[in-house]
Each structure stands twice: as structure tokens, then as C-alpha cells.
Amino acid sequence: MSVYYATPASPARYVVAESPVWDAQNSRLLWVDVEVGNVFVGRLSDGMVETSAHYEIGDKIGAVVPGDDALSLLQRRIDSSS
């Protein structure tokens, strides 16, 4: 039986960090913090992910995809209680 161990890719803390996507054209990683409503952009450095930018959306968000000039946001989820 194989045993696998997970190691953090960053010392940063998030509420629910999900939906990472590699933007090969720009050599960057994109991901979201679902509950907080932030989109993050990072670069790989020495086996770790360093955040190079973040965008505050202000609402829950499920995913992000790279766009030509800006980030295109997908799966925006509106809280039904608001």
C-alpha cells in the first residue's frame, strides 16, 4: 500500500482555497478563496507558491479562469440569504 503525504504549497492561510488553475501562457497559478470572495494570482518559486496579486470580489466565488487582458470569473455564487 502506498502512503502519500500532503505538504503546504504556501505559508498563507485561507478560509476555503479552491479551484487552482495553471495559466501556462503567463506562467502563473490562479485560485479562489470561496467564502471570502478573493481571487489570487501566484508564481512558483523554489517549490512554493508566492502570491503576486489578489482581487477582492466581495461575494462568494467558485472558480476563476485566465483571460486575455483580465481574469474572467466563473461560477459566481450568490448567497441566497442576501
For 7, phi and psi rounded to 5 degrees? Answer: -125, 145
**pLDDT tens per residue across span 11-40:** 999 999 999 999 998 899 999 999 999 999
Which tops the pLDDT comparison, 24 or 75?
24
Estimate the share of the chain in helix, then strand, then coil, as percent rounded to the nearest 5.
0, 50, 50
Confidence (pTM): 0.78
Give the residue among 59, 67, 15 at the shortest CA–CA distance from 41.
67
* 42 grid coordinates: 501566484
* 68 grid coordinates: 486575455
Confidence (pLDDT) at 62:
85
pLDDT band, residue 79 (cuts 50/70/90): very low
d(CA 74, CA 79): 15
pLDDT band, residue 68 (cuts 50/70/90): low
